[in-house]
Structure 1
Amino acid sequence: MVIETVHLGKRYGTLQALSDLNLAIEPGKVFGFIGPNGAGKSTTMMILSTLLEQSEGEAYVCGYNVRKDPASVRQSIGYMPDFFGVYDNLTAVEYLEFYAGAFKIPARNRRSLVADLLELVNLSPKADAFVDSLSRGMQQRLGLARCLVHDPAVLILDEPASGLDPRARIELREIIKQLREMGKTILISSHILPELAELCDDIGVIEHGKLIACGSVHEVSNRETGGSVMQLRALRNLDKAALLLESSPLVNHLEEYMGGFRFYFQGTEQEKAELLQELMDEQVAVVYYGDAKKNLEDVFLAITEGVGME
């Protein structure tokens, strides 16, 4: 495992911010940490980044114990907090060259390295712009480039899209996809759930400092919400389709969706086929009938039902 925590806990006086956290993240995976603000996401990431010492348990990154060998952990990770300081009187190139020097990258290699990083995060045209002149989204991408200066195996990204407009979030998401294709192991947190839906291989849902669900998006979805999510699109007789679906004991949470309906189906494959036949018997002009991807809002709400929100 590239990242592993064993009964990890953190107390602040009488407040238990993190309790008995057990994570195991495989190489090359993108792991999404889901939870409301204050749930324990940032605490976990700061412990893994050696910026905060745990109260209980152990944590390992690339096989290194974060408490016993923090120097090796820091060489293995690129950590990006939700808000980070920048040196306003430096250009983007100077900013990255400064961090390349801090990581002891040979001076003769820094210029080409910085050029490659700026190209990766789509900031080459802003190479000579002062950092304080960059937009929030550009500063986030520059911060991501800074995390990559020493070519770490692991990226720990705490709310990387916080405060970004929709276009900037899309640009950042595309860069993270490229990093996944490069084989980086990525731990990414967010309370904006759709951000993580396309990116993550696995997710962990944390609430009040406790991990309450963990696994692949598909596994967690099916285990926690039950049944499957179906989607129906039709050209005509949608009113008949709605009546039929509403009357079926196997259909729950029916909602209009993309020229048709989306609903939970709790039945067998045979019963799915029978429902389709009933729709066609009612002259519903079906153009699509099949499984739909559960969104993470559905999963999160199902998992945390009864847990209580902060």
Structure 2
Amino acid sequence: MHASAEPSPVAAPTPIENFVPLAVDVRHLRVKYGKFVAVQDISLEIPAGEVFGFIGPNGAGKSSTFRVLATLQPKYEGEARVCGLDVRGDPQRVREKMGFVPDYFGVYEDLTVREYLHFFAAAYRLSVTGRKAVVDDVLQLTDLTHKIDFQVDSLSRGMKQRLSLARVLIHDPEVLLLDEPASGLDPRARIEMRELLKALRDMGKTILISSHILHELAQLCTRIGIIEAGHIVSQGTVADIYRQLGMLKIVHLQVANETPELLDRIRRIPGVTQVDSQTDRISLRYEDGAIEIEELHARICAAGARVRMFQSEVMDMETAFMKLTEGTTQ
């Protein structure tokens, strides 16, 4: 009698404790206005809790994408979901999960701040007894408590932008769509807006921001997407985009013993693509990922350079944006 074969081991279930649901899921989105195609073929997967920056020139398709997600653009091709809800099939429930701040303030400017927020609290069907506490909370968060009895029309643009955020926070949405929230703001108001967005990020909100202020998005966002002519030309973290582009990093050198022979030896270091002798320094370009900065310094010294200055820099997000939208990667 043969011994029975041992049962095959059962595969352990895939752990789900690290699973992060998608707050926004867009697949092959296409938006047309007559014959004009504003959004060509956009796909996005944005996990809950992420801050995603949408970067692109005017007319690139940012606002059209936001209008679809905000249930304001019913005619589109492809799929769009917010918190797992189909935008086209279940718009009312999507609105309950989402808050949208457009790039213009809107109407009702003859109301006071108190009247304005209580009006929207009623529109969101908050109970009469609970409205005051909610309004007080959003005013405190947006630092507008001292303006509660001012007319909306008397507020500065920066305060109106913060009031727009207070309005969409009344029903405590999970996802925020902010279309150019810092547009037209002075430097102080821009800093205040950035700090407010950081506070919302720390509260766990999923935030989509469209903006031209690229360096601020790079500081605030977990990922960014660069869009042009209705297409996303690149998306990922700032570091991802540099790697996708194969963008060159730059080092500025001063050496005590510069000679043509030394420059030739530096040019032969793997990963170095260009070495230029300037009036007071040597400018060196190298491929990101081909060599670490510490190894590059060691190789330059090994080539015989007596280094006085070694200063690294990286192309900023404005440069990345310009190169991407020009179709140039070098």
Q: Which one of 9, 23, 29 corresponds to residue 8 of structure 1?
A: 29
Partner deviation per Cα, 1:182-231 (whole Å, 9 max, x = no partner): 0000010012322311111111111111111122221112211434x356
| Closer/same/farther in 2, CA of residues 293 and 106 from structure 1, 3 Å limit | farther
- Looking at CA atoms only, which structure, 1 or 2, has the larger radius of gyration? 2
The match for 2:190 is 169
Tell me which amino acid in the other structure corresponds to 1:284: R
CA contact (8 A) 2:49 2:207 kept: yes
| Offset from partner CA, 1:82-114 (integer Å, 9 cap, x none) | 002142222212211111111011111111111
**Among 17, 24, 28, the residue aligned to 2:38:** 17
SS at match of 1:272: helix
Which shows bigger deviation, 64-73 or 87-96? 87-96
2:84 alignment counterpart: 63
Q: What letter is aligned with 1:219?
A: D
Are 2:145 and 1:145 aligned? no
Structure 1 residue runs without a partner (length 5+)? none
Aligned-CA RMSD value = 2.9
1:3 and 1:75 map into 2 onto residues whose CA distance is 14
**1:284 alignment partner, SS class:** strand
- Amino acid across the alignment from 1:175: L
Partner of 1:79: 100
- Secondary structure of the residue aligned to 1:223 is helix
Which of 29, 47, 53 is the matching residue for 2:50? 29
Q: TM-score, structure 1 length as denominator?
A: 0.85
2:144 is aligned to 123
Structure 1 residue 268 and structure 2 residue 297: aligned?
A: no
Using the alignment, how far apart are the partners of 2:166 and 2:81 within structure 1?
24
**TM-score, normalized by length of structure 2?**
0.80
Structure 1 residues 100 and 183: alpha-carbon distance in aligned structure 2, compared to 1, 3 A threshold: same
Q: CA deviation at 1:73?
A: 0.5
Equivalent position of 1:284 in the other structure:
308
Deviations 1:109-134 (A, max 9, x none): 11111111111111122122111111
Q: Are the structure 2 counterparts of residues 209 and 157 from structure 1 closer, same or farther at C-alpha, using a change threshold of 3 Å?
A: same
Q: CA deviation at 1:162?
A: 0.9
- Asked if the contact 1:65/1:73 (under 8 Å) is kept, the reply is yes
Q: Distance in 1 between matches of 2:108 and 2:325?
A: 41
Deviations 1:239-291 (A, max 9, x none): 989x988995426598x9xxx999742242375133553799435155xx55x
Provide Cα deviations, 1:127-172, integer angstroms capped at 9, x if missing partner: 2211111101000000011110100000000011111111111100
Number of equivalences: 295
Amino acid at match of 1:126: K
Is residue 225 of structure 2 the alignment partner of residue 204 of structure 1? yes
Contact persistence 1:240–1:284 (CA under 8 A): no
In structure 2, relative to structure 1, the CA distance for the partners of 1:278 and 1:284 (3 Å cut) is farther
Corresponding residue for 1:155?
176
Q: Decide whether aligned partners of structure 1 residues 106 and 293 sit closer, same or farther in structure 2, where only a CA change above 3 A counts.
A: farther
Alpha-carbon contact 1:32-1:187 (below 8 Å) kept: yes
Query: Does the alignment pair 1:188 with 2:209?
Result: yes
Structure 2 counterpart of 1:90, one-letter code? L
The aligned amino acid for 1:38 is G
- Letter of the 1:222 partner, please give it: R
State the one-letter code of the partner of 1:65.
D
